[in-house]
Every structure is written in C-alpha cells, then in structure tokens.
Structure 1
Amino acid sequence: MLRWAPYPFIRITLSLVAGILLYFILGEGLHYSMEIFAFFVAAFIIAAVFSLRAKAAEATNMAGIVGLLCFVFLGFWATHLHTEKNNPQHLLHLSGQPAYYVGVVEDYLVQKPGYQSTVLQVQQVQVNGKWQAADGKVQISLPHDSEKTYELNYGDVLLIKGAPQKVAPPGNPNQFDYRQYLANKGIYHRHYLQAFQAQKIGSAPPSPLLAASIHLRRNLDFLLRQRIEARREYAISSALILGVKDELDNSIRSAYASTGTMHVLAVSGLHVGLIYLVLVWLFSFFAPSVRQRVLQAVLILGFLWTYAFLTGLSPSVLRAVVMFSFVTVGTAIKRQTNIYNTIAIAAAALLLLNPYNLKEVGFQLSFLAVLGIVYLQPKLYGLLEINNWLLDKVWSYFTVAIAAQLATLPLGLFYFHQFPVYFWFANLLIVPAAMFALYTGIVALAFSWVPVLSSLLFALHYGIVWGMNWFNEVVQHLPYALLNGIDITALQTWLLYAFFIMLLLFVALRQLRYFALATGIVAVLSIKEIMETVQQKEQELLTIYNVRGSTGIALVQGQQATLLADSALLHDESNFSFNIQPHLWYLGVARPQFASMGSGAIASAAYTMLPDSNSLVVWQGQRMLLLSHPPQLTSQQPLSPNYLLLRNNVRVKPQVLQAYAPGKVILDASNSPWYRQRLHQQLDTLGIAYYDVADSGALVVRLR
C-alpha cells in the first residue's frame, strides 16, 4: 500500500502544479482568482476548527482536502499575478500604435554574428503625440558590426523609434512555437531595429545585484577568450563554466546532442551538483556538533551562491542552487525528512516565484532527472556488487546516466524527437571530464593573476575540453549513433510516464494490478501507433513551406516524400531542419528525397522545364506552374494550373496571370516584403484569388 503521510510537501507541490495547470487551461475565462483562493482559505479554517472539535477521521480528511484545494487556488492566483498581459497598461491593450517608446534593458545580451539581441522592459509609449505609462517586454535585435564587444548593457535606458510587432506564430506545421516560448517568459512583442532607431538616454538597472553579476560574468568571459585562443574550445569552456553559449556553432551543438551530453553545456543542476559534492567532501572534517554543522552549511551555501553570482544568476543555476540549498539546510538541522520532500519544497518555492517555470523544458528535465537519480540509481546500482574500486566508480556513473535518461526519456522524445543510442557510453567519460574541466576552469580563473600557475591551469583546462570535443565527434560518427525522427504526442508522453510508474509500482509493491495497468497502457499505445501508421500510409498532401528567402515544396505520398527546393534551401541543412523536418516527421517521413529546381527530374512527379526557364509540376492530378522568370509563352487556350507559384520577385503583370486562369496564385517566402505588398494590391484589384505563404503560413493541401 502507498503511504502518503511521510510526503506532505509532495501533496502540496502537486496541488500547486494542479492549480497552475488549471490556469493554463481556464485562466482566460475564469476570473476572481484571489477571491476564490480567499474562499478556500476561510473554508479550511472552518474545516480545521470543526475537525479539532469533532476528532473524527472523516472531518480530518475533509479538512485536509480543503487545505490542498487552498494550494490549488494559490497556484491559480500566483499564475494570474505572473501573467504579464493581465496588466491593464500592457502593450497589448494600447488604443493605437506607438510612434516611440522608452524602456530599460532587463535581460542578458545575446551576441550573434551581425546582431545583438536582448529584452527591453517598456516604461512609456508615445501614442497620438502623447506620452503615457505602459508595461510589457519587447525582444529587440540591433545590428552589430563594430569592434566593440557589447554595445548595450543591462540597465541601459533606450528611446526607440517605431512600434514593436506582435510575435508571429510558427510559419510551418509542427515547427517550434517560438511565440509560445516567448509568451512563457512574458514577451509578446519583437522589434528588429536599425541602428538609427535606438538611442541610449540613461542607465537605471532594475537590479543592482544582477547588474554586478552580469558585469562580472562578462569580465570572466573576456578573460577566457584571451587565455583560450581556439574558438571551439573557448566556446565550450565559456558555456561549461559561465553558461555563455553565444559562440557555440551548430556543428559542436550537433555533436553533443547526438551523444546525449548536451546537458554539460547548459550550466544547471549537473554543474551545481558537482560543486556541491566537492564542497561536502572538503568540509567533511567538521564534527557532528550543531555549531559546526551550521558553520559547514553556511560555507557551502556561500560557495554555491557565489557560483550562481559568477554565472550571471541565470534561472537554470538559480533553480539548482535553490534545490541544493534546501538539501544543505535540511542536513544541517538534522531534520528527519526525506529527499523527496526536499525536492518538492524546492519545486514549490520556484513555482511560487514564477509559475511559468512549469513550462520551462529545463525545469521539467532537471526535476525529472533528479527524481530518477534519487529513486532509480540506488536500485540499479544494487544489481551488481563490484569489489574493485575503479570498476565500482564506473558502474556508479553508468547507473546515474541510465537513471537520468530513463526518467527523462519520454519528455526528451516529445521535445527533441531523437534518442542518442550511445548516451551511456558518452556520459561515462564526458561527465567526469566535464567535472574536471569545470574544476580546473574555475581554479584557473581564480588564479589568473598568478603567471606560471594560471598558464598551467588553463593549459590543463584546454586539454580536457579539447579531449571532450574530440571524443564526442568520434562517438557521433559511430554506426546508428542517433535515432531521430521520433514523433510522439503529448498524450503518448503522458501514457509512457504512466507505463513507467505502473511498472515501478509493480516491482516495488508486488501487486499484479499494477502490471495489468501497465499492460493496458502498452495496448493503448500500440493501437494508437497502428492507427497512426495506417493513416500515414494512405495520406497524400502537397505543402508549400514558409522558408524565408527560399522555396520548398513537399510532395508526400504515404510515408515517402519528395522535397522540391531551390539551391539556397538545399545547401542550408539548419534551415531545412528547423522549418520543414518537424512536419515531415509528424507525417511519418523519416527523410525525403531532395530534388533541385531546374534539374528537370522528380521521381514521383512529372516535372517539365519550359522554354522560358519556368517549370511545370504535375502530381496526383494537380498542376503547379512555377514562375521564377518573366513568362514568355503564349497559348490559344489557358493553361489553367491549379496553382501558380510566384518566386524570387519575378516580374510579371497581373493581367498576364489572368491569361493562365489559375485556380490560385501563391506567393512564397522567397519574395521580398515590398514585392508581396505590391502584388496584394494588384491581385485584389483584379479579383484574383491568392495565398501569401509568408503572411499566412505554409499552404497544406490534403488530397487524401
């Protein structure tokens, strides 16, 4: 039988989570969140008083249920308070478009080739010639081509000319929803600025502590850049120690992702945990007296929060430091509590500070990994008894990697659609290497003022990082190193976790009903997978994707597809991976056949190059005329294509388009904004139906 009495904080945290989820579902329509919370608090007080007087189990249970409902609606109310757009002065509620606005830089500055990006907290806007107070966050991007490393700083007050735009929804099916990602951070607007549109008018850091932390992190990052000349190794070192990932290129990201070791590049629970273990070992000489335990806890907390300060007080580090702070305090005061309550207290504190942490992938993965290690790792470790010290340590690291991977597997499949086959092998070497790289890097920075010693430490640190990169690239190229294209729904993710939980309950409690439930879940998953596969094998659809500056057309039949693309898209793997691949994976297409426009050959369709260098595609009874050059062919009878696609700002008069009698004119994202706007007016005047992919998103035509 499951006993909940020893886990009060787990019940409280689960109630908070339920309230937060309830707001995400009903928050827009359910008002008076504070009043509802106050009602349940009053009801709990009445129920508690009645329970004390009645001294009956039923009354006590009822008071407990009402108490948990208090936490449900506390989570609901806290989420309402932290939802930026509920502020009446928010940018979303302005009566008109602002001509100017003033705001303060309140976030880290992300530096990329050619531009810099950050978040501006708006303070005032000018609407219809009048200034008024306003609220809201705007993600701004500024061109950056000077030799100066940073042109903006945290706390800079900027005067911006122009109006920010609402963040656009995803342009393609199943594409990463960047709008929702920003909304979870309270950002609903973006603004791509020219240099003349922004002017610094002052400095007023919202948090002097964060300003000092960011300034220190920049100085340490600059020191790393000076002492580690190889760009790739510097990028890894800066990401590993300070959490600065601006210089990580796609190739090295891909190598670490393919081996399941990407987590070592995100300063979070792993790094704080490694530092915590060393601190516990260093201060293990303290006697078990109360005073010395308190002194040990103070020292550990001091070092942990100092490291958080060095990394710019980033949210991921703060989450981990808060968790280990609770562990440290619990150990110091010798509370008879278990690690699950400690983890629950940390989660509840972080969710009350910001309920939208619940939507953060890092938050979800961190807590699941910790739970997996705490529960599963001892059980896996106990399967083998090894007398050799070195082999025992290897087995311990191996079981930690397995436990964390199992706990996060369904969520990893849901978010990243891939499974690194050799994660157990890669983590076996990369995690210890990352540990030594972190320690040597921190010590090298601490002793950077000592000439010979610092050079030796930086050389050692560089060697470890170089070895990590080399090893990851070797593992990446092993056969079947990465299984990708795995597409599961949110429901399937929940079902997978339900299966794991039922299986664990069966093993722990030896009750057959849990095994029966696990079997039932497998049956549901299997039926759903079979139905999905049958549907995919019968599908036929044509998709014209929204790919900025390029043309991409997918012809999907069953679980096979041909992607007709221009040279710009064919030579840009990241563009394909971000904009098109998620949709094809959703359709069950592991990898499409690529066909180049102008090649004159498509395996699954009739592709004809016309004498005027344009082309005609005929597929499944659908005719598509692709115009990338001014049309010069004449015919006594209209060609009457189902779709007429205009590409690359092709010069064509709308009257000429009428002669083709197309079913619909399509403008794809290879056309410039000014061109599409001009065509909109001309086509509207002539009454020609059209579809603008760049404005309305990918065009998906399902034939079957």
Structure 2
Amino acid sequence: MRWLDYAFYRILFFLIAGIIFSRGIELPVVTYLYSLGISFLIALFSLLIHKYSFFSKALFAVAVYCFFFFLGGILLQLSNQLSSNHFIDKQVHGEDQVISLELQQRLSSNSFNDRFYAEVFFLGSQEVSGKALVSFKRTDSLDYQVGDRLVVYEQIDVPAFARNPGDFDYRAYLKSIDVYGQIDVDPTRIWNDEKSPDKMDGLLVIRNRILNKLTASGLKERPRAMIEALVLGQRQNVDPELTKSFRDAGVIHILALSGLHVGIILLILRFLTQSILRLKYGRWIQSTVLIVLLWSFALLTGMSPSIMRAVTMFSFVAIGMNLKRKGSVYHSLTLSAFVLLIYDPRLLFQVGFQLSYMAVFSIVLIQPVLAGLWTWHNKVKDFFWSICTVTIAAQIGVAGVSLFYFHQFPGLFILGNLLLLPVLPLIIGAALLLILLLLIGLPTDWLTTALNVLLEFIMKTVANISSWESFIITDIYITWWEMILMYTVLFSLVLFLVPYFKRSKKERFYLKKPNWMLHLSLASAILWMGIRSFETYAYSEEQFLVLHQATGSAVSLSNKEQALLLTDLHVMDTTRAVNSLERLKNIENHRGKKLSIADLQSMVHYKDAQLVVIAENGVYDTSIKSANVLLSHSPKINIERLILDTHPKIIIADGSNYRHLIEAWKITCDQRNIRFLNTYEDGAVAID
C-alpha cells in the first residue's frame, strides 16, 4: 500500500497541524473565517480552469490542505470559547458564594477524596453554566451519587497549574475537558441536597441498581470493586494500592476502560466470531455484530467520554478489518480520528486519545509482523502467541506517550498480560452472568464464590509481579520532540520492513533496496542523537529557585552536573512528607544530575545571591540588608517593620503560608513599592 495515496491521510495531517498551530498561536476567529473562505474559493476556481492540468491539480490540492488547516484552527478556537454566562466570569474570586450544582460524572477516588465532575447552575440567584471538579473528603463518608443536586456555600478555586518546572499542568488538563473550577466541599457548608433518582435517565437507574445488587451479592470488597471497574467502568471503590500494583505490573488497562482495553476486546471478539465469516455476507454480519457488542459494552459502562471515544474509533476499525481492500484498517483508523477531531479538536491533546490511537495503530501495523515470525500448529500455543504479540505491539505503541506523561516503563508487562488476558473474557462473561442472575433473582452463591477465589488470586498474582521493583524502570523523562522523533524512527522502520515480509515457511522476510522510509528513520535517529548531545553538552545554566510546596518550603540550587534540594517539611505527616520529597526530587532542574538533599536553613547563599528564610518564629537578622526574603510557615512578623529593617530586594511567600496572610503581605508590599511574589500564583520563583 502506498501510504500517501489515501487522501484522508494528508487531510488528517493538515487538520492536526492546524489544531496544533491554533493551540500555540491564537488568531482571531475572523482571520480563520476569511482564510477558510479564500481557501474554498481557490479550490473551486481550480476546478473551473483546465480541470486536469498539473497546475489546477496542484492549486486544488494546496487549497484543500489550507482549508483543513484553517478548519482545525477555528474548531479549536470555537471549542475553547466559553458561553456568555459561564461561572468563570461571574464568580467573585477568593470569596464564598452560594453555589447550586448537579453531580454528573463520578471519577476514581484517590486516597483522600471522592470526586465528581458537576454542572454549576447558579451562583447565588444568578443563573450560570460550566463544569467544575467537586471533591468530598472520604473521611466525611458522604454517600452522594451521580444525579444528586446540592446547594453549597463555598468558593470556586482555580485549578493548580504547573508551579514547579516539569510538574503536571492540572489546570490545562481540566481546561481541555471544559472543567474550569474546583470546589472542595465541607459537609458543614452543604445547605441543601436533593437525591433525585426520578430525574436520572434509565441507564443511570439501571446501573445504580446493578451496583446495589453487587454490594449485596456476597462478593468481597476488592473483587466487587474490580468487577465494577471492569464491567461498569466505576473505579471509585478500587483500592489505590490495587491500582498501583496493576500499573507497576504493566496491566493497568485491565482496570482502566481505555482505548487499549477496547482494542484488545475487539481482537478477542473477532477471534470468537470467526465462524460468522462462513456465512453469506459474513464479513458485514461480523462487523455489525462487533459494533453492536462494542456499543453494548459502552452503554453498560455508562458511556463515559473516554469509552465513547474508544468505541467510536474501534467501530471504524471493526469495519476496516473485515474489508477485503488492502489497507482498509488504516483507512478506517484515519477516518475515525478525523471524525473525532472534527467533533472535538481538543481530544488531540488528551492522554487517552493519544494512547488509544498509538496502541491500536501499533497493533494493526506491528502485530502481524511479530505474529508472522513464528507459526504454531497448535491452537492453544497460537492463542497465547497472539496475545503475546498483541501485548508487545501495543506496548511498543504506547511506550513513547507513557514515558512522556508517566515517566516509567513496566518491564514485566508481557508476563502480566500473558497471565491475565487469557482469563479476561472469562471474567467479563462471568461478571455479566452474575449481574443477569442478580437482576432476575436467581441464586448466585456458586458464582460469587468462584469469582471471589479467581479475582483474589489475580490480585495477589499482580501484587507479586509488581513487587519486583527492579523490573520497573522509573524516572525516565523525555521531551515532546523526543517522543515525536521516537515514533518517527519506530514507525518508519516498521513501514520499511512490512512490504518485505513473506508468508513463506522458509524465508520470513527479504529486503530490497532501501526506500525513503528507511531514510526517514535514519535521519530521525541522527537528529534525535544530535539534539540530545547538544543539550547535554551545551546546557550550563545555573539556577536558584524557591519552589512551591503546599504546607512546606523548598529551595533548589542547580548547575549542569549537580543539584542541591533544601527542604523544610516538618509540619507534614511522614507519608505526605515522603511523597512531597519524591515529587520535589524529580522536578526538571534535578533530572540527570547528582542530587543532594539537606535541611533548609535561615540563610542560603549561592554565588552572589543570598536568601533570608524567616520561619514561623519570625526571627531574622536585622543587620542583613538588600537581600531576598522568603516567608515560610506563616511567620509572626510585622511586614512593615521587616521592610524598614532589611530593605529587601524581593519578598517571596511560598506554599507553607496561610492565604489570608499572603494577601495582607501583598497589600503592604505594594504600598511600600517592594516586589512581592507568592508561589501559589507565580509558581517557582527564580532568584537572580
């Protein structure tokens, strides 16, 4: 197959290019509208002049590509525009307000909070719109469900951004899914709540009924939570330690209903429905059955955005895999991505979208090559070999994205998947049977006992695999351009090799003369190594940073080869202090360097700069003048007296201070013309 012969490949490329351009450079919507109109008119004009001439064809192609480039740009701009009554423009920042909201989607609970996405309807008496992240402390034991309406007296906080170099930008992530606020609910500030199952749609009522039935079924807590995650997409009851063990073992897709999970299910379903192909129009019948099964699965899990996206993609793929035309699967994959990005261009920047397409593209492209390397004449062996090759292909596909976002690679992913994937259809089938028997009221003791034993064994096995920490490669950091070059090298090399694989038993593949795919792969590899080497040897910047750490203080000193982290985390409990220290150790300034850790003292010197740290006791040396001052752990000081005594260059307040004190300090510093920064709003502060 000649890859550029399919027009949608080129169209999708320019659509994506336009979306990326619009994200980096925001142009007025009217500019995109004029550009779209001009591109359309040029394309129309090119069809009217010498329809089949080289010039008209080239002009038409350029105009069409420009049209989709500007279409991608304007779609992203329009997606990011907020309604005129959005709460972000109506709220009073930093002040409590009466907020009316409805819980619409439940998220996985973490160690501290139960979390929902909620639609905000009123601020006081003012009607508004927009989504916010709502959190309830797990210790408060508030049993709210999707569909409940609440009236609370709280403030809508702005989600945290990447305050330290290399931190995850949570604000940008929430913005990409239309969530612009964060509400932490205190139970004493809930004025009214309304549990309204009559207002819920039928699907939600059925799912809640199933959850209640499962709770009373006799399943143990952990197996029940795993079934809820697998079959219903409800991960709020899954133990965070269980999630960590599945992630470390390389089998997190078993718990997370992602594109990788749906892709593996599609391949298993195709294997189970091969007999349909013997019928007349068997390919079309099998495609229909696969699509119906995938969407039935999506309905059962609650039609979350990630599942809808994944099932939409694999609906196209299911058809493409059964068409006789060469390359039809790639065509279907391209068309599904085009449809999804037209629907919501922000999907391009979501981790789930990237993982889904990288996984399925790798499965479709690389798995047949791997499977063809060895042929088994035993169905059982061939089944396990297929699972192994699917796992390797998918893991190759998601490796770059996973390293970029999560910075780790599970070395035992093949072992974990070989153990779990063969029994995954059995688990899902048994869980569906259990739900059916519970709904119609038949005895289920035998089935719940079997599921308890099987799932407990699986969880214990996964925990054992994840305990081999030496096989978990962590702290791998790559940049976005390294990720792109990595995929360019990989896929170009595979596309070079694919046409030369033969189905002969004697000769697995043969090579002809190199083509441009091999040249692209080699050029990308050379560029990757060259830029990496340049950054390694040319980087010599020395940095003195006051970092942001909630309820703690941290200062980083770094140069080309070494880094020193100074911390004061004494008010934290042991667990939180350990977690915070690990996060601070892995900021961008410390990666790949020899890192030392020490306690933060009252004075920090680095080169010609000095930082005076004033802790909670409020003690400082009045003889030190014109220094940089760090206020730590809400010191009891008179800020005006401090300014008069020390004449500071700059005053910094970090995340260990109370917000109301920071606001008061800022007012005083503004009045005294002293530069004041706080890490809540400004992130890490560089000391000159």
Pairwise same-fold verdict (TM > 0.5): yes
2:20 aligned residue = 21
Where structure 2 has 5 or more consecutive residues not aligned to the other structure, the ranges are 500-511
Task: Label 1:286 to 1:67 Cα distance change in 2 as closer, same or farther (>3 A).
Answer: same
Equivalent residues of 1:441, 1:458 under 8 A apart = no
1:521 aligned residue = 524
- Residues 603-626 of structure 1 show CA distances to partners (whole Å, capped at 9, x for unaligned) of xxxx6xxxxxxx444555655444
Equivalent residues of 1:552, 1:569 under 8 A apart = no
Please list, as runs of the form range in 1=range in 2, the aligned pairs for 1:638-649 lying within 5 A after superposition. 638-640=623-625, 642-649=627-634
Please list, as runs of the form range in 1=range in 2, the aligned pairs for 1:407-486 lying within 5 A after superposition. 407-448=397-438, 454-478=444-468, 480-486=470-476
1:182 equivalent among 174, 177, 185: 174
**Matched residues in 1 for 2:651 and 2:176: separation?**
37
Equivalent residues of 2:154, 2:189 under 8 A apart = yes
Task: Label 1:352 to 1:543 Cα distance change in 2 as closer, same or farther (>3 A).
Answer: same
**Matched residues in 1 for 2:158 and 2:27: separation?**
19
Equivalent residues of 1:547, 1:579 under 8 A apart = no
Question: Are residues 1:403 and 2:402 paired?
Answer: no
**Matched residues in 1 for 2:489 and 2:450: separation?**
46
**Matched residues in 1 for 2:687 and 2:574: separation?**
23
Question: Deviation of residue 140 (structure 1)?
Answer: 3.3
Letter in 2 for 1:651: K
Equivalent residues of 1:167, 1:188 under 8 A apart = yes
Task: Label 1:668 to 1:381 Cα distance change in 2 as closer, same or farther (>3 A).
Answer: same
1:666 aligned residue = 652
Question: Deviation of residue 418 (structure 1)?
Answer: 1.7
Equivalent residues of 1:235, 1:245 under 8 A apart = yes
1:652 equivalent among 606, 628, 637: 637
Question: Deviation of residue 181 (structure 1)?
Answer: 0.5
1:697 aligned residue = 683
SS in 1 for 2:340: helix
- Residues 28-79 of structure 1 show CA distances to partners (whole Å, capped at 9, x for unaligned) of 435254554455445444444556xx44455445445444444444434433
- Residues 280-306 of structure 1 show CA distances to partners (whole Å, capped at 9, x for unaligned) of 556555575557776655554443322
Task: Label 1:67 to 1:117 Cα distance change in 2 as closer, same or farther (>3 A).
Answer: same
Letter in 2 for 1:670: S
Letter in 2 for 1:554: S
Decide which moves more: 185-194 or 259-268.
185-194
Equivalent residues of 1:559, 1:587 under 8 A apart = no
2:342 aligned residue = 352
**Matched residues in 2 for 1:145 and 1:511: separation?**
63
The percent identity for this pair of structures is 23
Task: Label 1:532 to 1:336 Cα distance change in 2 as closer, same or farther (>3 A).
Answer: closer
**Matched residues in 2 for 1:351 and 1:679: separation?**
47
2:506 aligned residue = none
**Matched residues in 2 for 1:132 and 1:201: separation?**
19
Please list, as runs of the form range in 1=range in 2, the aligned pairs for 1:309-324 lying within 5 A after superposition. 309-324=299-314
Question: Deviation of residue 172 (structure 1)?
Answer: 1.7
Equivalent residues of 1:561, 1:589 under 8 A apart = no
**Matched residues in 2 for 1:12 and 1:631: separation?**
63
Letter in 2 for 1:121: E
1:628 equivalent among 615, 623, 644: 615
Please list, as runs of the form range in 1=range in 2, the aligned pairs for 1:5-20 lying within 5 A after superposition. 5=5, 7-20=6-19
**Matched residues in 1 for 2:59 and 2:309: separation?**
34
**Matched residues in 2 for 1:490 and 1:592: separation?**
24
SS in 1 for 2:4: coil
1:78 equivalent among 75, 78, 99: 75
Letter in 2 for 1:75: G
SS in 2 for 1:564: strand
SS in 1 for 2:166: coil
Letter in 2 for 1:178: Y
2:565 aligned residue = 563
Please list, as runs of the form range in 1=range in 2, the aligned pairs for 1:222-621 lying within 5 A after superposition. 222-227=212-217, 230-277=220-267, 279-280=269-270, 284-286=274-276, 298-329=288-319, 338-448=328-438, 454-478=444-468, 480-507=470-497, 508=499, 510-511=513-514, 513-535=516-538, 538-565=540-567, 566-567=569-570, 568=572, 571-572=575-576, 575-576=579-580, 579-584=583-588, 587-589=590-592, 592-596=595-599, 615-618=602-605, 620=607
2:146 aligned residue = 153
**Matched residues in 1 for 2:313 and 2:112: separation?**
38
Equivalent residues of 1:114, 1:144 under 8 A apart = yes
Equivalent residues of 1:141, 1:193 under 8 A apart = yes
2:161 aligned residue = 169
Task: Label 1:626 to 1:589 Cα distance change in 2 as closer, same or farther (>3 A).
Answer: farther
Question: Are residues 1:121 and 2:119 paired?
Answer: yes
1:610 aligned residue = none
Question: Deviation of residue 372 (structure 1)?
Answer: 0.5
Equivalent residues of 2:260, 2:359 under 8 A apart = no
- Residues 610-651 of structure 1 show CA distances to partners (whole Å, capped at 9, x for unaligned) of xxxxx4445556554444343568x7x714584443332232
Question: Deviation of residue 255 (structure 1)?
Answer: 2.2
Give the RMSD, CA atoms, in angstroms: 3.9
SS in 2 for 1:448: helix
2:4 aligned residue = 4
- Residues 337-361 of structure 1 show CA distances to partners (whole Å, capped at 9, x for unaligned) of 7111111222222222222111111
User: Under a length normalisation based on structure 2, what TM-score does the superposition of the two structures give?
Assistant: 0.84
SS in 1 for 2:105: coil
**Matched residues in 1 for 2:393 and 2:111: separation?**
39
Equivalent residues of 2:561, 2:594 under 8 A apart = no
Question: Deviation of residue 369 (structure 1)?
Answer: 0.8
**Matched residues in 1 for 2:675 and 2:327: separation?**
68
SS in 1 for 2:163: coil
1:611 aligned residue = none
Where structure 1 has 5 or more consecutive residues not aligned to the other structure, the ranges are 598-606, 608-614
Letter in 1 for 2:419: L
Equivalent residues of 1:419, 1:484 under 8 A apart = yes
Task: Label 1:663 to 1:62 Cα distance change in 2 as closer, same or farther (>3 A).
Answer: closer
Letter in 1 for 2:4: W
1:191 aligned residue = 183
**Matched residues in 1 for 2:493 and 2:480: separation?**
20
Q: Across the two proteins, how many residue pairs are aligned to each other?
A: 670
SS in 1 for 2:557: strand
**Matched residues in 2 for 1:139 and 1:308: separation?**
23
Task: Label 1:501 to 1:186 Cα distance change in 2 as closer, same or farther (>3 A).
Answer: same
